[in-house]
Amino acid sequence: MKRTLRRSILKPSAKPEAEEPSEEVVSKPIVSAATESVEPAPAVATRIGGAGSAWKSGALAQAQGSLDRSREQIADDILHGRHELRLAPGQISDPLGTDRRADWMEQDRFLSLLSSIEQNGQDTPILVWPEDPDWKPDLLQPEAIENVPFILLTGRRRHAAAERLGRPLRAVLGPPEKRSSNDSRFEMLFMRFRENEERENLGAFEHLTSIGEMYETLRESASGEKLTAVSFAKRIGVHESVVSRGRAVYKARDEILNAFKNVYDMSFAELQKALATLSEDAKATPKKRPKFKKITVKRKIGNRNLSVISDSGNLSVKAAGLNLDKPSLERLGDLIAAYLQEQGSEESSK
């Protein structure tokens, strides 16, 4: 028996009405059947590209700003002695010189330091100032100081050792506020004195000579202000009695060096006796005044006699029968003054 299918089963069902795509469908990526690749939606691609460019630009600006601030900080640290420099010995001049004995580079202490630096390097930086008081590091390259000249404040033995060994020096800048002061030379002397006292005690002669030099330097730069031993002693941290002895030793330093062979080994008491000995010798041998011969030159002017006399360094002119008024006498005085000035210039040029 044959079975038949109902027409409703064989008849294709009606197609459902097309639905409008939702936002979710539109926003999804489009898939290609042939390549099965995903194409990003144009609106999303444009938005991501703009944000990336802006982020990169901001990051670069931030990095550049950080770099600029870092350079400015290094430059400021250099000027205020917080950043160490590396200098060639030839970049550094020494306008002050040492306050030690003349043969200090031949002494055992220096030779020992030289050997230590050769084997172990330089432990402590030297102190310098730029030769130009207005110098500032280049903000683009603050550590580019190869051609900048400096002056030495402290560390003469380390500088001499590095120069002899042909090595660069570790260095920092001294206080900038003292560099431009009126008494900057005194400040340089004081820094030299203080370091020597702290690192290695000076002998009595070196100690007192250095104090005397500091006093005279500060007195000359005081611009008319009176400098007292009390105020000076307080400023450098010594007793006022030491100041007077320092001035005396500094004033007589050449005589002391010529009169005594063991000057650098003398104690304070021995040096005081040496000063007293020099003072007694000076009193016992008073200075002789130079003797001048009396010279007279006479001239005949008409019926008048003219006498020009040089006696004990004094010049006098005598002429009888003259009645000169003040203008005539001034002209004569000008002639004599011009002659004496010309003679003085000739003597000084010999």
Task: Indicate whether 215 and 149 sit together in one domain.
Answer: no
Per the domain annotation, does 22 fall within a domain? no
Between residues 291 and 96, which one has the greater pLDDT? 96
Predicted confidence at residue 180, as pLDDT, reads: 67
Whichever domain contains 118, its CATH number is: 3.90.1530.10
Q: What is the mean pLDDT of residues 266-280?
A: 85
pLDDT of residue 46: 46
In a domain, 91, yes or no: yes
Do both 75 and 173 map to the same domain?
Answer: yes
Instruction: Give percent above pLDDT 70 in the chain.
Output: 73
Q: Could you list the residue range(s) of the whole structural domain that residue 146 is in? A: 60-180
Confidence of residue 346 (pLDDT cuts 50, 70, 90): low
Spell 39-66 as b/e; 16+ CB within 10 A means b: eeeeeeeeeeeeeeeeeeeeeeeeeeee
Residue 176 — pLDDT band, cuts 50, 70, 90?
A: confident
Q: What is the pLDDT of residues 29-58, one digit of tens each?
A: 444 444 444 445 454 444 445 556 666 666
The pLDDT assigned to 141 comes to 92
What pLDDT is stored for residue 243 in this prediction? 92
Q: Are 75 and 165 found together in one domain?
A: yes
pLDDT above 80 for 171: yes
Mean of the per-residue pLDDT values for the chain? 78
Q: What percent of the chain has pLDDT over 90?
A: 25
- Residue 69 included in any domain: yes
When pLDDT is averaged across residues 269-295 and rounded to a whole number, the result is: 73
The answer to whether position 295 is within a domain reads no
Predicted TM-score (pTM) of this structure: 0.53
Tell how far CA 10 is from the center of its chain: 109
Same domain, 86 and 149: yes
Give yes or no: residues 195 and 268 share one domain: yes
Instruction: Indicate if 66 and 176 belong to the same structural domain.
Output: yes
What per-residue confidence (pLDDT) applies to 53? 66
pLDDT of residue 190: 87
Query: Looking at residue 282, what is its pLDDT?
Result: 60
Question: Does 339 fall in a domain?
Answer: no
Mean pLDDT of 319-347: 74
Q: Last residue of some domain: 164, 180, 196?
A: 180
In a domain, 323, yes or no: no
Q: How confident is the model at residue 104 (pLDDT cuts 50, 70, 90)?
A: confident
Identify whether residues 127 and 85 lie together within a single domain.
yes
* Shared-domain flag, residues 131 and 200: no
Q: How many domains does the structure of the chain reveal?
A: 2
Domain end position, chosen among 145, 163, 180: 180
Does 79 share its domain with 171?
yes
In the predicted structure, residue 298 carries a pLDDT above the cut 90: no
Q: Are residues 225 and 141 in the same domain?
A: no
Last residue of a domain, one of 272, 287, 302: 287
pLDDT at 173: 94
Residue 327 maps to a domain: no
Indicate if the pLDDT at residue 202 is higher than 90. no
Judgement on whether residues 102 and 161 belong to the same structural domain of the protein: yes
Q: Based on the fold, state whether residues 222 and 162 are members of the same structural domain.
A: no
Residue 238, domain member (yes or no): yes
pLDDT category of residue 334 using cuts at 50, 70 and 90: confident
Place 224 in a pLDDT band, splitting at 50, 70 and 90: low
